[in-house]
Structure 1
């Protein structure tokens, strides 16, 4: 079939493309061309990307419990008045004098020393001298001067509150010879007082258990041991 003039250019294009072939893709360096007959195993693989090491994190140490202090707790020692003080100097019994009153009845005056003069002599505390000052009156006067405490001190004066049942309408007091703190918060006192029986007799070194939480005291020895339980305490007068 004769070729037309229009078909010649198309034929030339087809012939040249068959002669020279299609352009080959240039293999990239990271992807080498696969040759005929090469197996998958023979194909060189690109080296794996270098792994960036993760920053090492040092685990924080757990806080360890603090060891208990090796120091022993402070010693709870007794506080005692000086032993060189002569306690006999403050007690010289003077029985009350007897006399007849206006009605002809024989009466006996107060013996000495009463509890207040004895405590003043033993402690040397001469504050609030208001004439015939009773124990409670003395405490209230000292309290206004901030000379009282609820914590016993050796050398202080313990004031027992009013107790009408035991015929102590003005209270009672005595001298703290020694104050020993106990583990439970109470205190063991060594207590001396006179006129405890309204006859001015002297009771030395009575053992007394004092509770600052309830402000009460119980006698564990001495003439008051049989009945003096949970007596109400006003406080302690200081120098």
Structure 2
């Protein structure tokens, strides 16, 4: 009987041991996991902080167009033209100079009409500074003293070309501004008419002229003077 009772006792001890092992609770979420034993184990990557309300909006791209004051206040480039009702194109007739013989028996030709000054007076109606046989520069200086000149071209004004002895203009030359158009680069495109430009009583109508107020020069882009009239010095413009 002892051997059996001893066996039974051992069996009961083994059974109780197994029951005790099964009754141990599983580790809960609050229990910390065992630290890794490997010294080379990497720490978990830190998480980026959540966005807060204080974060400012990202700046606009540099390619975003910006409105500037220059764009908003861009000047309107409009042409200033002579009113057709004020056109005096038919108030004169070209008359070649009369030929005659001088005291030495040589044939000479008198002035054709109108010269550049009478033509400009006729077209513009500006009759100021009538000083006898007034030359272009003389007329401009007289008008300047009377505050009737400008450095900015205007339709209906008279453009005065300065003295140019190389081109046989010892008293200057002038003509009538039919139209004045400002360009974006600060220059002006003019439509210009003048007479007796070749001292042969010819009339040049609607010549295209580029005027540069920075240098006070004019270049003819069309008409008989186109081939040589580059950067002619300009005194200014006579006004009514």
- Normalised TM-score (structure 1): 0.70
Aligned to 1:205: 206
Q: Supply the distance in 2 between the matched residues of 1:180 and 1:124 (Cα, whole angstroms).
A: 22
**Contact 1:90–1:118 under 8 Å retained in 2:** no
Q: Deviations over 1:171-225 (max 9, x none)?
A: 0000000000011110000000000110121100000000001000000000000
User: Structure 1 residues 126-135 or 95-104, which shifts more?
Assistant: 95-104
Give the alignment's Cα RMSD to 1 decimal: 2.2
Structure 1 residue 100, shift from structure 2 partner? 1.2
1:237 aligns with 2:238: yes
**Counterpart secondary structure, 1:224:** helix
Q: Supply the distance in 2 between the matched residues of 1:143 and 1:72 (Cα, whole angstroms).
A: 33
Unaligned runs of 5+ in 1: 1-65
Q: Supply the distance in 2 between the matched residues of 1:198 and 1:155 (Cα, whole angstroms).
A: 24
**Counterpart secondary structure, 1:90:** coil
> Which of structures 1 and 2 has the bigger CA Rg?
1
**Counterpart secondary structure, 1:121:** helix
**Counterpart secondary structure, 2:218:** strand
Aligned to 1:177: 178
Alpha-carbon spacing, 1:171–1:67, altered in 2? closer, same or farther (3 Å): closer
**Contact 1:156–1:175 under 8 Å retained in 2:** yes
Q: Supply the distance in 2 between the matched residues of 1:237 and 1:87 (Cα, whole angstroms).
A: 17
Structure 1 residue 76, shift from structure 2 partner? 1.1
Unaligned runs of 5+ in 2: 1-65
**Counterpart secondary structure, 1:132:** coil
Q: Supply the distance in 1 between the matched residues of 2:173 and 2:75 (Cα, whole angstroms).
A: 34
Structure 1 residue 71, shift from structure 2 partner? 4.1
